Amino acid sequence: MKATTCLLALAALGVWACDFNITDPNNPGPIGLDPSRAEVADHVIGVILAARSDAADWILDAGILGREAYRFDGSDPRFISEFLNGPLDPGGGAFGGDHWIEEYNAILSANQLLDVIGTASRLTTAEQDATRGVVKTLKAYAFVMVLMGHEEDSIPIDVDRPIGAPPAPFVSNAAAFAYVSALLDSADTHLAAGGTALPFALPPGFTGFDDVAGFRRFNRAVKAAVEVYRGSLGCGATCYTTAKTLLESGATFIDTSATANLAVGVYFDYSTNPGDAPNPLFQNPQTGENFVNPRIKDSAETKATTGLDDRFTSKTVLRDTVTTENLTSYLGWVRYPATTAQIPFIKNEELILLRAEANNALTFPVLAANDVNYIRVKSGGLAPIAGLGAQTQAQILGAILHERMYSLLYEGHRWFDLRRTGRLGPYLKDRATDAVFPTLPIPLDEVLARK
């Protein structure tokens, strides 16, 4: 019918012109090719946000597993039943199955940016390199977080794959650590070619490290930490030497001068501003669900003057005794005293103790003892240990770990430190029925995806 055709044509005329390609009006999509400077900046911050997303949760969970903390939570008994008693449940993504996908989401965010940064025509080659260096460093940090929680030699590293592709093969922890170490070097090489200023702003937690030179010092510090970890996990002298070299060369921000600030370092920021997150570890220390494991007080040393280790007294506070499930605590946390309290990535105080650990392993006991005593005096208000440099290597390591315990209290290190130095054991049990776990299981979905 001519008329029909006519009318349909008329009716359709206006309609056909409509654009059916509706882009997501609610959220940004993945970063595309040739990103603008602003897009690059947004996605660098995005990687930091993704890396931050698990930081506080890790500190709480690793704190319970490493016997720094308790959580007496009426609505969720698993903080006690699963973490102290077991078994660790690899399903569900919480508790046993946790501390995995958030890190890999940060790695995905980093990979998405790395995949397109070379096409960013608004950035100079140097700026592209600077961006690569920053993002690869953050990506390496996310892998370190995965490795701190898992030691079952089942770590996917080749994860930059499209959705639906077969999952990345598992590699051993040692191989994964080697990959992270190389990734940090690659990042450093990019930064070395990255000019002077970064092409984006970084949050306040990066103050002092927010230009290329500063960020390189952060990168080298992470590298040093990774090398010490590797050293203790079997790599031995080779890795310790790399760490020692880095920490003695001025490549990092280690500082033991008289005016040194032990807190200098890189931090995650928190706030109650729109879109931001408050630090979830901040609680009213008298009423919150999070408690200090009393063994932290039991092993705290007394200062030469009076009172306990400054690091203990500044991070914990007495509260009413609470007993539940035969666990008792009378201490609350003030380590993070506000919703805006920062959580450290890495700080000068840790670098000094890392150097001590490398020197001790490489049989420079006096150098190690000097750093330990420096921290004891400066950070704890304690007396130096006389004759520490003459003690055995194992004794000095014990002293280093003791200082790490208080210097890095409630910062997510203790459990991993005990594991990598072989010091996890039944002595950590609060109740006879408890278990001490060396690792979190690989999440069930990760295993199922390979079947």
Q: Which listed residue (94, 126, 168, 192) binds other proteins by CB under 8 A?
A: 168
Binding mask 417-446 for other proteins (x = CB under 8 A): --------------------------x-xx
Q: Are 353 and 371 in contact (CB under 8 A)?
A: yes
3-state helix, strand, coil in the chain (%, to 5): 50, 10, 40
Q: Is 327 in the site for other proteins (CB under 8 A)?
A: no
Three-state DSSP at 156 gives strand
Figure out which of the listed residues 64, 109, 199, 291 binds other proteins, where binding follows CB under 8 A.
109
Burial, 3: exposed, middle or buried (Cβ in 10 Å; 0-12, 13-18, 19+)? exposed
User: Which CB, 108 or 405, lies closer to other proteins?
Assistant: 108
Q: Crossing angle of helices 237-248/212-230, nearest 10°? A: 150
What are the tokens at 303?
């200062």
Tell which one of 108, 117, 281, 382 touches other proteins (CB under 8 A).
108
Window 119-158: residues binding other proteins (CB under 8 A)? 156
> Closest approach of Cβ 425 to other proteins, in Å?
31
Cis peptide leading into 87, omega within 30 of 0?
Answer: yes
Q: Based on CB atoms, which residue is closest to other proteins, 26 or 305?
A: 26
Smallest distance from other proteins to CB 280, Å? 13
Closest CB to other proteins among 87 and 250? 87
d(CA 241, CA 227): 8
CA 50 from chain centre, in angstroms, equals 11
Q: How far is the CB of 323 from other proteins (least distance, A)?
A: 16
Quick check: 77 and 25 in contact, CB under 8 A? no
Please, what is the minimum distance in Å from the beta carbon of residue 276 to other proteins? Answer: 5
* Residue 328, beta-bridge partner list: 323
Residue 21 or 259: the one with the smaller Cβ distance to other proteins is: 21
Q: Is 406 near other proteins (CB under 8 A)?
A: no
Nearest alpha carbon to residue 387 among 396, 378, 397, 379: 396
The nearer residue to other proteins, 45 or 327, going by C-beta atoms, is 45
- Does position 74 bind other proteins by CB under 8 A? no
Among 86, 118, 167, 398, which residue interacts with other proteins (rule: CB under 8 A)?
A: 167
Binding of residue 204 to other proteins (CB under 8 A): yes
In the complex, the smallest distance separating the C-beta of residue 25 from other proteins, rounded to whole angstroms, is: 4
Q: What are phi and psi of 5, to 5 degrees?
A: -55, -45
From 5-13, 121-129, 185-193, 388-396, span contacting other proteins (CB under 8 A): 5-13
Applying CB under 8 A, among 175, 182, 201, 318 the residue interacting with other proteins is 201
Check binding of 172 to other proteins (CB under 8 A).
Answer: no
Does residue 100 bind other proteins (CB under 8 A)? yes
Q: Does 49 bind other proteins (CB under 8 A)?
A: yes
Q: Integer distance in angstroms from the first to the last C-alpha of the chain? A: 59
- Minimum distance, C-beta of residue 450 to other proteins, in the bound complex (Å): 7
25 vs 426, which CB is nearer to other proteins? 25
Reported as type and span, the H/E element at residue 343 is: strand 343-347
φ, ψ of residue 76 to 5 degrees: the values are -145, 100
Pull the structure tokens for residue 84. Answer: 């102290």
In angstroms, the CA 282 to CA 292 distance is: 13
CA distance 56 to 203: 17
